[in-house]
Chains A and B, each alone.
Chain A
Amino acid sequence: MSLNTQIRTLLTVITEAAIEQVLVRDLDRLGVRGYTISDARGRGSHGVREGAWTKSANIRIEIVFPRAMAESTLLHLQATYFANYAMVAFLQDVEVLRSDKFE
């Protein structure tokens, strides 16, 4: 039996926990239906972000949706946050079942 998968786009955003609430509001406004947020640790151009303490903590947001929406969301993030916040965001193609969940 073969899996009946379809291609969707995964947008991963790694950024400062400090802006979680405003980001979530943005996503709602952009019509994003679902996302997953988890705590993250790591190192980058803004130094070591250990996650041991709320103010230096990072979060990772993952959203699976159609390509066009992924691109417009990424453009919004670029225009709004890239200049002043520690933020990395990238797109990947992923195969999903139940593709209607990711419209």
Chain B
Amino acid sequence: MIDVVVLFFLFGLAAGLLRSELKLPVALYESLSVFLLVAIGLKGGQGLASQALVPLLPQLLAVVVLGLVLTLIAFLILQYIGRFSRADASSMAAHYGSVSVATFAVGVNWLMTRDIPFESQMTIFLAVMEVPAILVGIVLMRGVSRQTRWGALAHEALLGKGVTLLLGGMFIGWAAGPDGLAPIKPLFFDLFKGVLALFLLEMGLIVSHQMDELKKRGLFILSFAILMPLLGAVLGIGCGILLGLSLGGVTLLATLAASASYIAVPATMRLAIPEANPVISLAAVLGVTFPFNILIGIPLYHRWASYFIGVAG
């Protein structure tokens, strides 16, 4: 059965496509995204409080490599098959090598609704996978040049709103532990689903506005925006199995690898590769990949993960 939060997304999408006057206040959308990032961070941090952190380092390295590989694959496809300019290919590849918090949140919700457990370090994977693709995208475009303002870009990538909130939430969750978090649990954990539903309503509206652009851009973008997440999911499943994650963990890593960033990366790419047309990447990421992942992708990746874990086991 379709998740209730996804119904909210479809509601927003329909309202937008029907050109309804529905519009959420900008401040609400921003507040909901802050809430989701902190809530995800707290939950991950709480789980980390009860496990050793050093064994996680090789896993973090593995997911960084996964992000780099995805960026390179996307770049090669876009430049040599899609015949994109170097700027557009680099920028869009960075979007696909990075990850989407909203997609991750829907994945977490999907697993929680079905009582499927997953590892708490998935939240760190989320934070860690946001950044490498951005740096690779810039290197693909500029090479390693002295003119690149690495300091400013690293600041933007590492201390952007998303990563800061996630890491801050994680630190608080880790430091406070389950008992310390008990007083704020009603707000951050119990209301998670309701907030996610409202957030997805707004996402539906945003996605509906990408449709006109998508119609203009044709079949290649559409195919890329569906095939790239499928390929990402397969690599994510492989990586998850190699790391010995549980079924829930493998599903979430596949979801992360399949997802594409629409907040951190567009903002950084706008500054780092101004020649790239931001409209193309956003149409692909928001118009196709995001809805594909939350409507079809996540259940599919879960099924694939079950199958491959069965084969590997």
On whether the beta carbons of B266 and A55 are closer than 8 Å, the reply is yes
Which residue on chain A has the smallest CB distance to residue B24? A52
> Which of B23, B262, B274 is A55 in contact with, Cβ under 8 Å?
B262
In the assembled complex, how far is the CB of residue A30 from the closest CB belonging to chain B, in whole angstroms?
18
Let me know if B275 is at the binding interface, CB within 8 A: yes
On whether the beta carbons of B262 and A19 are closer than 8 Å, the reply is no
Residues of A within 8 A of B282 (CB): 55
On whether the beta carbons of A16 and B26 are closer than 8 Å, the reply is no
On whether the beta carbons of B271 and A19 are closer than 8 Å, the reply is yes
In the assembled complex, how far is the CB of residue B128 from the closest CB belonging to chain A, in whole angstroms?
23
Q: Mark A49-61, 1 if CB is under 8 A from B, else 0.
A: 0111111010000
| Contact A16-B29, Cβ < 8 Å, known A55-B262, A55-B263, A55-B282 | no
On whether the beta carbons of A53 and B270 are closer than 8 Å, the reply is no
Residues of A within 8 A of B271 (CB): 18-19, 22
Chain B interface, number of residues (Cβ within 8 angstroms)? 20
Residues of B within 8 A of A52 (CB): 23-24, 26, 29, 205-206
On whether the beta carbons of A16 and B279 are closer than 8 Å, the reply is no
On whether the beta carbons of B30 and A54 are closer than 8 Å, the reply is yes
Q: Mark A17-28, 1 if CB is under 8 A from B, else 0.
A: 011001000000
In the bound complex, CA of A83 to CA of B275 (Å): 8
Which residue on chain A has the smallest CB distance to residue B152? A22
On whether the beta carbons of B267 and A47 are closer than 8 Å, the reply is no
Instruction: Determine which residue in B262, B267, B282 has the highest number of CB atoms from chain A within 10 A of its CB, and name it.
Output: B267
Q: Mark A68-87, 1 if CB is under 8 A from B, else 0.
A: 00000000000000011100
How many of chain A's residues touch chain B, expressed as a range? 10 to 19
On whether the beta carbons of B270 and A16 are closer than 8 Å, the reply is yes
In the bound complex, CA of A18 to CA of B263 (Å): 11
Residues of A within 8 A of B24 (CB): 52
Q: Which of B7-39 contact A (CB under 8 A)?
A: 23-24, 26, 29-30
On whether the beta carbons of A53 and B274 are closer than 8 Å, the reply is no
On whether the beta carbons of B266 and A84 are closer than 8 Å, the reply is no
On whether the beta carbons of B275 and A53 are closer than 8 Å, the reply is no
In the bound complex, CA of A46 to CA of B282 (Å): 13
| Contact A47-B274, Cβ < 8 Å, known A18-B267, A52-B23, A55-B263 | no
On whether the beta carbons of B267 and A55 are closer than 8 Å, the reply is yes
Residues of A within 8 A of B275 (CB): 84
Residues of B within 8 A of A18 (CB): 266-267, 270-271
In the assembled complex, how far is the CB of residue A45 from the closest CB belonging to chain B, in whole angstroms?
12
In the bound complex, CA of A24 to CA of B30 (Å): 22
On whether the beta carbons of A53 and B29 are closer than 8 Å, the reply is yes
On whether the beta carbons of A51 and B267 are closer than 8 Å, the reply is no
In the bound complex, CA of A9 to CA of B25 (Å): 34
On whether the beta carbons of B267 and A53 are closer than 8 Å, the reply is no
On whether the beta carbons of A19 and B26 are closer than 8 Å, the reply is no
In the bound complex, CA of A55 to CA of B203 (Å): 13
In the bound complex, CA of A22 to CA of B267 (Å): 12
Residues of A within 8 A of B279 (CB): 46-47
Q: Which of A79-99 contact B (CB under 8 A)?
A: 83-85
In the bound complex, CA of A16 to CA of B274 (Å): 12
Which residue on chain A has the smallest CB distance to residue B266? A55
In the bound complex, CA of A59 to CA of B33 (Å): 21
Q: Which of B190-224 contact A (CB under 8 A)?
A: 205-206, 209, 213
In the assembled complex, how far is the CB of residue B17 from the closest CB belonging to chain A, in whole angstroms?
15
In the bound complex, CA of A39 to CA of B26 (Å): 11
> Nearest 8 pairs between A and B by C-beta?
A84-B274, A18-B270, A55-B266, A53-B206, A84-B275, A18-B267, A52-B26, A52-B23
Q: Other than the known A39-B26, A54-B263, what 10 A-B pairs have Cβ atoms closer than 8 Å?
A: A52-B23, A52-B24, A52-B205, A53-B26, A54-B267, A55-B266, A55-B278, A83-B274, A85-B270, A85-B274
